[in-house]
Homo-oligomer: A and B are copies of this chain.
Amino acid sequence: MSDKSPVAKKIVDLAENSVKSIDKYESPAISLPIRTLSNVSFDEKEGLIKLGDKKQSRTFFNIGQAKKFMQTVLIASACKDLIGTGKTTSIRDLYYMTKHTIGDTKENTFDDQVESDPIIEDLEVALDSLREELHLFASNRGAMVGNITVVDSGDTIDLRKMGSGGWSIPSIMEKDVVQFKNCEAKFVLMVEKDAVWRRLNEDKFWRTHNCILIHGQGMAPRGVRRLLWRLNKELKLPVYVFVDNDPWGFYIYSVIKQGSINLAYESKRMAVPDAKFIGLSSYDQEKYNLPKNVTIKLSDVDKKRIKEIKAYPWFQKKTWQDELDYMVKKGVKLELEALSKRGISFVTNTYLPEKINKKEWLE
Contacts and interface: CB of A to CB of B under 8 A. Distances in A.
Contact of A96 (B169, B170, B217, B341): B341
A99 B340 CA distance: 10
A66 interface: no
A98 to B, nearest CB: 9
Given A87-B202, A202-B87, A93 B168 contact: no
A195 B94 CA distance: 11
Contacts of A308: none
Interface in A95-129: 95-97, 99-101, 108
Interface in A148-177: 150-157, 161-172, 177
The winner among A87, A92, A168, A338 for most chain B CB atoms within 10 A is A168
Given A155-B161, A178-B163, A96 B168 contact: no
- Copies of this chain, complex-wide, total 2
A39 interface: no
B137 A198 contact: yes
Interface residue tally of chain A, by bracket?
A: 35 or more
Task: Determine the main DSSP class of A at the interface with B.
Answer: mixed
Interface in A183-202: 194-195, 198-199, 202
B89 A195 contact: yes
Contact of A167 (B140, B165, B198): B165
B152 A194 contact: no
A50 B344 CA distance: 35
Contact of A90 (B99, B153, B198): B198
A293 interface: yes
Contact of A171 (B92, B163, B198): B198
A35 B93 CA distance: 41
A92 B338 CA distance: 9
B152 A162 contact: yes
A344 B84 CA distance: 13
A337 interface: yes
A165 B156 contact: no
Contacts of A155: 161-163
Interface of A: 82, 85, 87-90, 92-93, 95-97, 99-101, 108, 137, 139-140, 143, 150-157, 161-172, 177-178, 194-195, 198-199, 202, 217, 291, 293-294, 335, 337-338, 340-341, 344-345
28 contacts: A82-B344, A87-B202, A88-B202, A89-B195, A90-B199, A90-B337, A92-B195, A93-B195, A93-B337, A96-B294, A96-B335, A96-B340, A97-B344, A100-B293, A101-B293, A108-B293, A137-B195, A139-B194, A140-B198, A143-B168, A150-B163, A151-B163, A152-B164, A154-B163, A155-B163, A164-B178, A165-B167, A167-B168
